[in-house]
Amino acid sequence: MSKGTILVVEDESDIEELIRYHLERENYRVLATGSGEEAVKMTKRERPDLVLLDLMLPGMDGLEVCRTLRADSQVRQIPIVMLTARSEEADIVAGLELGADDYVTKPFRPRVLLARLRAVLRRGVGEGERKDEEAPLSYKGLTVDLGRHQVELRGKRVSLTLTEFNILVHLLRSPGRVFTRYQILDRIQGHDSYVLDRTIDVHVAALRKKLGSFGSNIETVRGVGYRLKDA
Ligand code: CA
């Protein structure tokens, strides 16, 4: 039985074939194209469960594809994982801010690629806004009571500032997903004014310290931002 349909957008045919081989072996149904324009059409027509999108494409590039898909209410909820060269840090950041869910750098190990895709598929649709009354978040011994703004680590209360609390909640809602500093900032603004871009790093450092050994679950993704290790 198929685990879902993945649209692979990659103009280099050897890489496309390699990805196809690994995905099909894991029982995904694979659609593929090397053209950005075609990728947009196929996404609208076929509604894949995920789009794996190379950023460097002839003609319409990956960022433009990402922007177009995210602007279309019919397909904007379909997860996008970008495929990039390691040197394309600025593009990675731009893509995440356009709404891509995650990225994998080339050359990639098939196991890493598959794990990343699985994590994104598992998170699924409708990550949007949630109510304050939602159930507590828990992750590896950490529990966050959203209504009461309380954090417990292995049963012991941890005292956080409002900004630290908001950053933690934001990361906890999507383990494995990388967020740029700007995305984190955007989420926590309105709660606490005068939080500047670089001060995110200071807040994260303070948060890690308060969480002790658990703090290492918050990973720095160099040049990009932060992510909570996939559980
Ligand atoms: Ca390419």
CA of 79 to the centre of ligand 1 (A): 20
Residues 157 and 43 placed together within one structural domain of the fold: no
CA gap 92, 179 in Å, rounded: 11
- How close is the Cα of 80 to the center of ligand 1, in Å? 16
Domain final position from 81, 110, 127: 127
Q: Per residue in 80-111, pLDDT tens? A: 999 998 778 889 999 998 889 889 999 999 99
Give the chain's length: 231
Do 123 and 11 reside in the same domain of the chain?
A: yes
- In the reported structure, the alpha carbon of residue 6 is separated from the centroid of ligand 1 by a whole-number distance in angstroms of 17
**CA–CA separation, 166 and 149 (whole Å):** 9
Which residues have beta carbons under 5 A from ligand 1 (an ion)?
11, 54, 56
Shared-domain flag, residues 183 and 116:
no
Distance of CA 56 from the midpoint of ligand 1 (Å): 4
Task: Give the pTM.
Answer: 0.76
* CA nearest neighbour of 81 among 119, 111, 52: 52
CATH label of the domain that carries residue 190? 1.10.10.10
Domain count, the chain: 2
Per residue in 68-80, pLDDT (tens digit) is: 999 999 999 899 9
Neighbours of 59 (CB within 10 A): 11
Same domain, 115 and 32: yes
Q: Which of 127, 155, 182 is the last residue of a domain?
A: 127
Q: Which of 119, 75, 121, 80 lies closest to 103 in space, CA to CA?
A: 80
| Cα 14 to ligand 1 centre (Å) | 11
Centre of ligand 1 from the C-alpha of residue 101, in Å: 19
Q: How far is the CA of 15 from the centre of ligand 1 (A)?
A: 9
Query: Same structural domain for residues 137 and 109?
Result: no
Query: Domain of 187?
Result: 132-228
Lowest mean pLDDT among 7-21, 169-183, 189-203: 189-203
